[in-house]
Amino acid sequence: MIDLFPLDASLWQLIFLGVFTFLLSIFAGMVGVALGAVRLPVMLVLGFNPVVAAGTNLGVTILGGSAAAWPHWRDGRVVVRVVLVLGIPAIIGSLLGGFYADDVQAWMLLGLIASLTAISSAMTFAQWWSARSKSRQPDTAQQAQIGGASKQGIDLNSRGRLQYGSIGLIIGIVGGASGMVLAVLRFPILINVLRMDPRNAAGTNNIIGILAGIFGFMGHAFNMNFDIGVLAVMGVTGMAGSFIGAKQTGRISAVTMRLIIAILLGVSTPLTMFRMFSEYPN
């Protein structure tokens, strides 16, 4: 018989996860980053099975991202050609990663998650430091930068499409296996390489995250690696928070957005490492 509630979450755990997901999703919807890399370590600290928690986390990402999609699309913050170049390889990679996640030992999967959150935190902090310095430039220079980062200025030639597509594929495979869409790893590409306005990057990244999440979840669902009860609670509260947050995109400066994300990821890393050592050598 198929177990639809393999995480066996208690009532207090469901209440905590619901409230936590709602609050986190407000900010996630605002910046277009699913922040599954923050949700997942919290689930792991509660003692949940890493593979099942990973699949459930991807399901929450899909629901939360879908709720934020319409406000981003309505306000013109989704660049379709960037979604295609980075999104299609990401969904292929996510499907493969999710499908083969069962073949990875628990401690290795946890180590992968901890490494990714640490790298993401360091990269985001570096972006914050750089953006903080640039924000002190005269207003005219800032306006010139913003103009150059508009979606009309994005250059995706054949070589660029191949490079970014390959990056998207790798991120998708790793994210699908670990239960995260790793939007925080794509964000530097959109902002620093493609020179997108942070608001357009938020909307575009959100759509790519939904696509990667769907196919990553399909890979996990094939092996029944998800808990429908936890998914329902976190999914509903995540959708509510993401919708509220997406409507507020642009209210917080890009500099502040990066700093908050870096702090959240930095805090989540030791939580995952603690669980990794407790699981070794399983």
pLDDT in tens, the chain (282 residues): 678 888 899 999 999 999 999 999 998 888 777 788 789 889 988 989 888 998 999 999 999 999 988 888 988 889 998 888 888 888 888 888 888 877 777 788 778 778 877 887 887 788 788 878 876 665 444 443 433 334 444 556 666 677 777 877 888 887 777 777 777 778 767 876 777 877 788 889 889 989 888 988 988 888 888 999 999 999 999 999 999 988 887 677 777 877 877 887 788 788 778 777 876 666
pLDDT at position 282, please?
60
Concatenated DSSP letters of 11-33: HHHHHHHHHHHHHHHHHHHHHT-
Determine, yes or no, domain membership for 126. Answer: yes
Radius of gyration of the chain (CA): 18
In a domain, 123, yes or no: yes
Range of the domain at 267: 11-279
Please report the pLDDT score of residue 53 as a whole number: 92
Token pair of 237, please?
């509260």
Does some domain include residue 260? yes
Total tally of structural domains belonging to the chain = 1
Q: For residue 171, is it within any domain? A: yes
- Residues 217-242 as b/e (b if ≥16 CB within 10 A, e otherwise) read bbbbeeeebbbbebbebbbbbbbbbb
Q: How far apart are CA 258 and CA 185, in angstroms?
A: 12
pLDDT value for 140: 43
Q: What is the DSSP letter of 251?
A: S
Structural domain includes residue 16: yes
- Dig out the tokens for 3 from the structure: 């177990």
- Label residue 148 exposed, middle or buried (CB < 10 Å: 0-12, 13-18, 19+): exposed
* pLDDT at 160 (0 to 100): 63
**Residue 163 placed within a domain:** yes
